[in-house]
Amino acid sequence: MTMRDKAGHDVLIIGAGLPGLALALALRGTGLRVALADRRQPVADESAAWDARIYAISPGNARFLHALGIWPRLDRERLTPIETMRIFGDRAGAQLDFSAFDAGERALGWIVEQRELMAATLAAWADTASPETICSDAPPVLLQRDRAAVTVGLDDGTSLSARLVVGADGLRSWVREQSGIAGTLRPYGHTAVVANFATERPHHGRAWQWFLDDGGVLAWLPLPGKRMSIVWSAPEALAQELLALPEAAFVDAVAVAGGAVLGQLALLTPRAAFPLTFMRLPTPVASRVALVGDAAHGVHPLAGQGLNLGYGDVEALANALRNRGPIDDPGSGLLLGRYARSRALPILAMQAVTDGLWRLFNDRHQVPGIARNRGMSILNGLPQVKSILMQPAMR
């Protein structure tokens, strides 16, 4: 293959999803020449009235997105604050409540559709993209590193070089594989079934979550008006059954599993599903390479923290590069080490909580079952402890 050389860049971001675009925006004003490449042009899907892919954005990340110029571009009619959250154990009487008021915040988080967030991100990016920022419709096929730079060859024959390559290309990251960063990937044996519903009763800004007696987790998340979105993390056999049910039977199954707390439901979007995988890496960096977002970690969605962790990666890497001082080289091992250390504890803590809870509620023995549900009830009566537990997720 004959490669056509493109002028060298300081930072080359592979992956034009939400984390990759956010990093391109966060590196404005750093004096770095930034390139962005993806196998396809990023677009906001407008094929349906409502997007079943939704995110719960933490207050801390809402402030970060505001600084990037993304948050002000979101349609306020499509944003929903989570003002309270109620969690039920897998035994009767086990309940845990969280409140934004008790935490001193306007919301515990903000529910936003993927396409709305992508549209706002693309609008901010289009307004500020520098001439050096590019996007290609060709997938990467070759990554070569030397002491001074990384060269990435694309399928169309283009060759891109940069002093730092950032992998923002998802859980099955090509950049991670090519860089030799090996980690632990473990399928949960569960699939998340997602869909949106119209509801008979108003949700009043409340989110619900049920730990079910089959080890699954069901979340109901508020959408604008009398609408809500579900994420049902179900054992594989049940997930396939839910996907195959006739629409009316699927709606009934969702209502029954949630105790009909919002009355009758009506399906607004087709069902979608994605398998759940845990992934832990020893480090998110290699020589002249850094990983962000799902390329750097995989967590169970029961806490809704996947994208929040990704934005945390973006902010930390951008800060390391912005505050590089006399270090001219953005691919310096010193800067990448700073980034890796800054993310080690937040990622480890969130994975410990989400994976630990999943394991705890999948232990079907009687003694752990009694202990975990009793623990929830005890914790619900300790507001100061609950406040401490909320802070990392809200940041």
The CATH number of residue 13's host domain is: 3.50.50.60
Would strands 150-154 and 140-145 be described as parallel, antiparallel, or unpaired?
A: antiparallel
Contacts 24+ apart (CB under 8 A), 45-51: 45/114, 45/115, 45/118, 46/115, 48/269, 49/268, 50/113, 50/196, 50/223, 50/227, 50/268, 50/269, 51/113, 51/114, 51/115, 51/116, 51/196, 51/269
**What's the pLDDT at 204?**
96
Let me know: does 63 contact 39? Beta carbons within 8 Å.
no
Which residue range is the domain that position 148 belongs to? 1-42+135-183+281-362
261 within domain boundaries: no
Of residues 7 and 172, the one with the higher pLDDT is 172
38 within domain boundaries: yes
79 within domain boundaries: no
User: Is residue 364 predicted with pLDDT exceeding 70?
Assistant: no
372 within domain boundaries: no
126 within domain boundaries: no
Let me know: does 290 contact 336? Beta carbons within 8 Å.
yes
7 within domain boundaries: yes
Q: Would you say how long the chain is, in residues?
A: 395
User: Is residue 239 predicted with pLDDT exceeding 60?
Assistant: yes
Q: How many domains does the chain have?
A: 1
Structure tokens at 332: 């310096």
Tell me which of 25-34, 101-110, 201-210, 328-337 is least confident: 101-110
Average pLDDT, the chain: 88
250 within domain boundaries: no
- What burial class does residue 49 get, using C-beta atoms within 10 Å of its C-beta: 0-12 exposed, 13-18 middle, 19+ buried? exposed
- Where residue 3 falls among pLDDT bands split at 50, 70, 90? very low
Report CA torsion sign: 56, 60, 66, 67: negative
